[in-house]
Amino acid sequence: MEYFLQQLINGVTLGSIYGLIAIGYTMVYGIIGMINFAHGEIFMIGSFIALAVFLALAAIGITFLPLVILLMIIVAMLCTAAWGWTIERVAYRPLRGSFRLAPLITAIGMSIFLQNFVQVTQGARVKPLPPQIQGGLTLMDSPSGIVVQISWIQIIIIAMTVVLMTAFSLIISRTSLGRQQRACEQDRKMASLLGVNVDRTISLTFVMGAALAAVAGMMFLLYYGVIDFYIGFIAGVKAFTAAVLGGIGSLPGAMLGGLAIGLIETFWSGYFSVEYKDVAAFSILAIVLIFMPSGLLGRPEVEKV
């Protein structure tokens, strides 16, 4: 039981990171019906920017950890938001009216470009970061020697995910921008006729998704303490899987799918062979889509005629 609880905590932590990345996929798809395969690389860039900010602050003598983490979040979110806006404006907007395969090819090409850009500018070696947030809470100490603990960094990751998920849900449901996004999701042409600036709404959606990916990238850096130019591809594929599993286009579905993928990976690694954790995750995805094609919380797509 103690081992199960520990794996549950680890799985929720990992799933929270996947869920934040998956929200970016599902927001973009919900509005323009396109998969932004470069979103994983935005997550990776956010990690590198957070590391660069940490090293720069350490070089000038700023070591107060709460201030350092706050500055890491702010700078990473601003920089990745700028990247997200630029990618949408340069790579995706000119192809919005093209045939459906063109934006997909562009997204894959942008993903490869960003991978190689970071590899060339930052090098191919992994970039380590010593543990900055240590310690935690002991939840259970059994006579068998198994200790159930939740670290402070895990608490921070889970709490930050809950806060951001709540904030973005309120933005989508109760603000003018959220109403514009929902209008564009239903019918972009009609939304434009009613006065919605569709181009600006789509750009802001990319910006919001990129900012969330930056937070996930910073949390990944603090949690695992090592990053490289390839983490965006791996995490991006799993986050996209989470978005599809939860129901592409649904924010709660993206978070639920992220938690599901994180729990599947963690429990499979804990009880079975770690080499097959990805196989298990994608197998569960296939099984769910066979019986629930729109995902766990997705809505069936209605074709307008």
pLDDT band per the 50, 70, 90 thresholds, residue 142: confident
CA-to-CA separations, 116 to 173, 211, 214, 229, in angstroms, rounded: 38, 21, 19, 8
- Domain range for 70 is 2-291
Domain contains 213: yes
Domain contains 280: yes
Question: How far apart (Å, rounded) are the C-alpha atoms in residues 260 and 232?
Answer: 19
Does the structure show a pLDDT above 70 at 52?
A: yes
Q: Which residues contact 206 (CB under 8 A, 6 or more apart)?
A: 28, 36, 84, 85, 87, 88, 92
Domain contains 224: yes
Domain contains 16: yes
Question: How far apart (Å, rounded) are the C-alpha atoms in residues 32 and 117?
Answer: 27
Q: What percent of the chain has pLDDT over 70?
A: 97
- DSSP for 233-269 reads HHHHHHHHHHHHHH-TT-HHHHHHHHHHHHHHHHHHH
What is the helix (H) or strand (E) element at residue 149, kind and residue range?
A: strand 147-151
Domain contains 302: no
CB contact burial 211-228 (16+ within 10 A = b; e otherwise): bbbbbbbbbbbbbeeebb
What is the helix (H) or strand (E) element at residue 151, kind and residue range?
A: strand 147-151
Phi (first) and psi of residue 172, to 5 degrees: -65, -35
Domain count across the chain: 1
What global pTM score does this model have? 0.90
Domain contains 304: no
- HSE at residue 266, side-chain half, CA atoms within 13 A, is 21
In this predicted structure, what is the pLDDT of residue 28? 83
Domain contains 298: no
The predicted-structure confidence for 229-265, as pLDDT tens digits, reads as follows 999 988 888 888 888 888 887 888 889 999 999 999 9
CATH number at residue 221: 1.10.3470
In this predicted structure, what is the pLDDT of residue 299? 67
